[in-house]
Structure 1
Amino acid sequence: MAAKPERQPSSATAGFFQTYPIIPPAYTSQNQQGNAQTGPLPSDDAVLTNILKLYLPNPLPTALDQSIHDFARTCLDPTTLRLMVDCETNHPTLHPLNTFGEVNNTNALHTSEGWRGLKDIQTKSGIVAHAYRSVPEAGEYNRRIHQFALAHLWSPSCASVSCPAAMSDGAAILLSKHLSASANSSTAGQDPEMLRKVLQGAYDRLVSFDPSYAWTSGQWMTERPGGSDVSRTETLARLGSTEELAAEKAAFGGAETDGVGMPLGPYIIDGFKWFSSATDADMVVLLAQTSKGLSAFYAPMRRTKIMSDGSKVSFMNGIRISRLKNKLGTKGLPTAELEIKGMRGWLIGEEGKGVKKISAILNATRLWTACGAVGGWGRALAVSRAYAKVRKIKGEQVLAENKQHLRWMAGETVKYRACTHLAFLGVALLGIAESGWESAAKGTKAGSWLPKDKTEADSLLRILTPVMKAECSLWSNWGLRECMESLGGVGYCENLEDGGVMNIARIVRDNAVNSIWEGTTNILSEDFVRVVKGRAGGEAIASLDRLIEALVGAVATDLADSAHLVRRQWNALKAWLSSTATEEVLYQGRDVLQQVQELVCALLLMIDARNTGDPLDKVIANRWISSRVEQGKKSLHKQSLEVESENDAHIVLGIPPTRAGRTQSKL
């Protein structure tokens, strides 16, 4: 009998080493062919492909298809990932004084090479600009869907440079509404034509593809007394007197322009901002009190000073960084407390109407938050899938062959798909509100049920944005925790090696801010209640009712039972909202947000199943309805253990069950 081979001890260089998972790009062009056996190469993130087919023209214009395909690879390119890791290891630093102790008014904030490099990639790729400039070869389409498809891919790779992108997008929306001279500008002590020229210059930079020319914007609202209660703002703004402005001009060597040569505004702003994200921005939109109340202002971050030798130096525009915030996540993002003293700015719109003006930015950044949250979740699921395919657990068995594990991750995948559909519904509505149904939805699969009126789209955004922002943020936080656990101890570690693509822990930390920034869940619940129980509450609920009826109508022919179930539950909730006192609705506000989310997601998943005709998408819709809508009743969609486990594998890994017919179930 042959002797058993003698066992050898492992060492740092010998023994078992885990095969490295391959993380494929989330999106692959529909024109990319595999081979005769496999057919076209599938996208790793199937829901993104389905969403593009739903909201963009069919067939997908080649220019858009290729744009998203190429950017999916940019997001996983080693150069991009190295920049991301650099952000994690080289955090922003503050240098408030020069060598001899004078205040450093020129370059007090230092950011990493990684941060600056990622911002350049973001600008060149048009993460903001594509919302404002169509791809000519693509014809008419919803520019917002193209933009947010790129942002979805970018979110987990960008080390939070998407934060200034979101604020820049919001600022571009606001400035675009004020690019014509307004009647109140002159009465506010401002030259209307000069104001228009300044805002046009800033807008052009916000929507540029050129990193050497483009700007990013900050938004400063949060202060020590109020948090989300901006009515307690302590920052003050007033028109500078002729004497004050002349003296200041002399102090700056005769210069009265910003860092790129545009005139400074006539308002002088003083105060303290408690939280400023992306402090390295080029401009800011902020709130300040005037004699007529809370008002919105535009200000450049830098201004020019002419030195005694005639040279021009760029100084901070009355801004001193007090300290940088030490946060749980978003480590590369420079977030600071700011003292404002003598900042020069321009009033945007009418005095005392600042909250209304700033809401244009808030609505955009809340949508960005929802989409960014599901984008990070999508990457974490991709890592979990890839790991399951190579991680050995029992002999030669890999994790992907463990039925319990697949059941768990299939449940998480269903939740991710539902939330991603919800976020992109908001994106589609924003595109219609801006460009109209004819340009943004006509000829698409979603065109039959999306609202044709811009006002209706705006109304739906007003009622659904707090739902999207709150629920996508919360659910992604929970989902990311599950993805981290799915990797075991590897998931808990801050893996910065190999480009950091395995570092789910970083995504968990970065994503945690999404349920706080731009309004906590409670604040968003209050916002939702303010809409449905306010003066225009009846019309707001009616607009959501019309959308739900349109969705039900779109799927009722072949998915009648589930569609009618959702309608009954919505009718019950609608009646309760209308008949219940505001205080009671507010008390249950968080639950109400989740109910709306669950019902709308159920319909969107049914729409997805109808459009694709894929039995798997019916299974996914079934599972969401069984777990979220039926509420403990006997499931309409119960399957055998064998069929369920086969479907789990299909949902998680994209592997069709051995008997494809078994996935077919009636909704």
Structure 2
Amino acid sequence: MQPSGANKGFFQPPPILPNQFYDDVSFRRCFNLFLPFSVITEVEAEVAALGRDVLSDEVFGWITDAERNKPYIKGSGRDAFGRLQGELVTGEGWRELQKFGLSRGFVATGYDTPYGAFSRPLQYLRLHLWEASSANVTCPSAMQDGAAALLRRHLASRRLSETERIVFDDAYRRLISRDPSVAWTSGQWMTERTGGSDVSQTETIALYQPEDAEGALASREGKIPLGPWSVHGFKWFSSATDSNMTILLARTSKDRLSTFLAPMRRHDPKAKTMTGHPKSDGTRLNGVWIQRLKNKLGTQSLPTAELVLEDMRGWMIGEEGRGINEISTILTITRIHNAVTACGYVGRGLGIARAYARRREVGAGRGARMKLTESTLHMRTLANLTAEYHGLMLMSNYCGYMLGLSEHEATPPTSALAALTPPAQYIDPLLRIIVPLAKAYVCKAAVPLLYSCMESLGGVGYLVNEEQEYLNVARLYRDCCVLPIWEGTTDVLCTDMIRALKHPKTGKQSLNALETFIKSSSSFNDEDVVKRYGWDPVGKWTALRTYIDERDQAALVGEGREILWDVAEIIISLLLFVDAATDQNDAVKEIFRRFIDDKFSKEKRMRDTPAEELQKDLAIVYGVEEAEAVAREIVPKL
């Protein structure tokens, strides 16, 4: 026996984190389910390379820098003589991650690729690989995506003036650019002190003053007019404070809540450098300054601020008084991004947990040692986490698929997608329901799942492992906690769903869309799972719909969470069923069976032998082929 010391004795071999494109079985199944074979053959190599690149030492170095060198306001917002400046400073790591995200086209993929309706599933699958390595630059990306979708819709109309078309087209081209020197990110400013997601009491005012905007340009080179509206007010939260433009809500003089586009900077030929010389870019902030940056539990690399608006020049988007209708386009996009982010974090956490289990040895009694992959309890835990994650993956990626169908006409390329695709008249009504539902359900479930991933590493999981950033599950957990709050809390989203289902004009259409989806997907492949598993999604939905139909909106709001959870679990069970039936994969069938046992069955299932149960768990965690190789070594010991 020799004593251990700081530099001698046992050292845990570090886990090797594989490329999640290959290692994450749920990712691969979603990749194959929601993309047609023709698209897969074209993009597979590029997406696999992306999975490798987001795990590079360079990217993890940028993350560490972004976390250490947090954003700040130079001089607390004023110069040495007390004049207001409000200059935001971000770290090099943050800026490099932003450039990486823009150059890799995480937003652009949804717009500049030739895949039509399948551009969106491809976009969100690529984004999934990036989320956990992005240090939150995907928050501005989400609003950039939403702003691009809104402007694209308006550019397709004939209601724009010639000047508006020039302004909107310039912003749109920048929002979907892959050139970091040209590309713009965007903010989305709704929240005020009067209420979080409740914008009915908005105190920001927009005044129509076109004469004051003559000669005012967004940039010297682009010659883009700033806009005829002058915006004054205060925004309580802005999570993309370093963005190049923003979409915001404000009231007009007619007290009509409307949506506006405003660039963050404006051309100023009098702008000076710090030393008093003419500024080369000739710009200054466009009537906005930062009161303070928020001090948050997580997402600390992301500059979130309170903003004062004083004569911020901008353009109205759409009709006066239809602000909520316009901003809802962005909310749909950002809520899908939230669900994708949640899955991206959990996917990385599980990837680290799988890698750790392969390397970590623990006591097996009487002096024996075993790897965590040999522990029936540890593998049961990871299998249960993986099974829940798989359902969340299917739900979030289904939202991306439905969004693509709402933007482009497409014929489902496989029988599985045909079963999951409602008739054209039901696509938008179903999207209105499943997006808030998925955002609420997926983001809420992700937090305890990621905590369990952190716990699976023991004490090292609780550490902020910046010296080996790829192991920093604690950072992911801390950042994940905001996802059930951003873009509508769980209660807000439950209320939104109830309103949609009980809307006097469109409620029945939404209910019919859900019912059509449930009936179509439950009949896929004609497998008699009802008798085998006691699973009756149509029956459960029929009873739930009757309950909803018989009660008014006020009576249902208090039960919003129970109703949303019931609908979500019906949908996830159907997605799991269709996925399992596509190739009869034993591990995926086992995930489906366990979900039904947990959510639908009242009887406790019978267990097989420990060796058989371990093999099932290994197949769920690592995939069937790798599990068989592991099991050949383990099972004889049991």
Alignment TM class, shorter chain as reference: over 0.9
Q: How far off is 1:401 after superposition? A: 1.1
Asked if structure 2 preserves the Cα contact closer than 8 Å seen for 1:552 and 1:603, the reply is yes
Q: How far off is 1:553 after superposition? A: 1.3
Q: Pick from 264, 276, 280 the counterpart of residue 301 of structure 1.
A: 264
Q: Does the C-alpha gap of structure 1 residues 610 and 436 become closer, same or farther in structure 2, counting only changes over 3 Å?
A: same
The reply on whether 1:421 has 2:394 as its aligned counterpart is yes
For residues 70-109 of structure 1, the C-alpha deviation after alignment (integer angstroms, 9 at most, x for no partner) is 110111011111111111111001011223332226xx10
Q: Pick from 221, 224, 227 the counterpart of residue 262 of structure 1.
A: 224
Match of 2:449 in 1: 479
Q: How far off is 1:457 after superposition? A: 1.4
The reply on whether 1:125 has 2:104 as its aligned counterpart is yes
**DSSP 3-state at the match of 2:311:** strand
Match of 1:176 in 2: 152
Asked if structure 2 preserves the Cα contact closer than 8 Å seen for 1:492 and 1:505, the reply is yes
Q: Pick from 603, 608, 612 the counterpart of residue 583 of structure 2.
A: 612
The reply on whether 1:115 has 2:94 as its aligned counterpart is yes
What root-mean-square deviation, in Å, do the aligned CA atoms of Structure 1 and Structure 2 show?
2.0
Normalised by the length of structure 2, the TM-score is: 0.93
The whole-number CA distance in structure 1 between the counterparts of 2:280 and 2:566 is 62
Match of 1:103 in 2: 84
Match of 1:589 in 2: 560
**DSSP 3-state at the match of 1:177:** helix
Match of 2:496 in 1: 527
Q: Does the C-alpha gap of structure 1 residues 322 and 140 become closer, same or farther in structure 2, counting only changes over 3 Å?
A: closer
Q: Pick from 146, 166, 181 the counterpart of residue 197 of structure 1.
A: 166
Match of 2:35 in 1: 56
Match of 1:329 in 2: 298
Match of 1:664 in 2: none
The whole-number CA distance in structure 2 between the counterparts of 1:310 and 1:148 is 40
Q: Does the C-alpha gap of structure 1 residues 10 and 611 become closer, same or farther in structure 2, counting only changes over 3 Å?
A: same
Match of 2:464 in 1: 494
The whole-number CA distance in structure 1 between the counterparts of 2:60 and 2:8 is 28
Asked if structure 1 preserves the Cα contact closer than 8 Å seen for 2:259 and 2:323, the reply is yes
The whole-number CA distance in structure 2 between the counterparts of 1:379 and 1:347 is 41
For residues 486-521 of structure 1, the C-alpha deviation after alignment (integer angstroms, 9 at most, x for no partner) is 1111111111112x1101110001111100000000
Q: Does the C-alpha gap of structure 1 residues 610 and 595 become closer, same or farther in structure 2, counting only changes over 3 Å?
A: same
Asked if structure 1 preserves the Cα contact closer than 8 Å seen for 2:535 and 2:596, the reply is no
For residues 111-160 of structure 1, the C-alpha deviation after alignment (integer angstroms, 9 at most, x for no partner) is 1111111111111111000000115xxx6660011100111001100001
Q: Pick from 380, 385, 402 the counterpart of residue 412 of structure 1.
A: 385
Q: Pick from 118, 134, 138 the counterpart of residue 162 of structure 1.
A: 138
**DSSP 3-state at the match of 1:650:** helix
Q: How far off is 1:11 after superposition? A: 0.9
Match of 1:78 in 2: 57
Asked if structure 2 preserves the Cα contact closer than 8 Å seen for 1:323 and 1:336, the reply is yes
Asked if structure 1 preserves the Cα contact closer than 8 Å seen for 2:362 and 2:370, the reply is yes
For residues 387-438 of structure 1, the C-alpha deviation after alignment (integer angstroms, 9 at most, x for no partner) is 1111111143112211111111111111000011011111100010001123
Q: How far off is 1:649 after superposition? A: 1.9
Asked if structure 1 preserves the Cα contact closer than 8 Å seen for 2:426 and 2:509, the reply is no
Q: Pick from 504, 509, 516 the counterpart of residue 539 of structure 1.
A: 509
Q: What amino acid sits opposite 1:58 in the alignment?
A: F
Asked if structure 2 preserves the Cα contact closer than 8 Å seen for 1:616 and 1:647, the reply is yes
Match of 1:648 in 2: 617
Q: Does the C-alpha gap of structure 1 residues 559 and 145 become closer, same or farther in structure 2, counting only changes over 3 Å?
A: same
Structure 2: gaps (5+ residues): 272-277, 632-638
The whole-number CA distance in structure 2 between the counterparts of 1:589 and 1:486 is 33
Asked if structure 1 preserves the Cα contact closer than 8 Å seen for 2:419 and 2:521, the reply is no
Match of 1:281 in 2: 243
Asked if structure 1 preserves the Cα contact closer than 8 Å seen for 2:117 and 2:410, the reply is no
Match of 1:231 in 2: 200
**DSSP 3-state at the match of 2:331:** helix
The whole-number CA distance in structure 2 between the counterparts of 1:132 and 1:256 is 27
Asked if structure 1 preserves the Cα contact closer than 8 Å seen for 2:208 and 2:229, the reply is yes
Q: Aligned pairs, how many?
A: 613
Match of 2:128 in 1: 152
The whole-number CA distance in structure 2 between the counterparts of 1:197 and 1:579 is 51
Q: In the TM superposition, what are the counterparts of 1:386-405 in structure 2 within 5 Å? A: 386-394=355-363, 395-405=368-378
The whole-number CA distance in structure 2 between the counterparts of 1:563 and 1:149 is 33
Q: How far off is 1:646 after superposition? A: 2.0
The reply on whether 1:570 has 2:541 as its aligned counterpart is yes
Q: Does the C-alpha gap of structure 1 residues 505 and 659 become closer, same or farther in structure 2, counting only changes over 3 Å?
A: closer
Percent of aligned pairs sharing the same letter? 39
**DSSP 3-state at the match of 1:322:** strand
Structure 1: gaps (5+ residues): 1-6, 28-42, 186-191, 250-254, 661-667
Q: What amino acid sits opposite 1:431 in the alignment?
A: G
Normalised by the length of structure 1, the TM-score is: 0.89
**DSSP 3-state at the match of 1:132:** helix
Q: How far off is 1:381 after superposition? A: 0.5
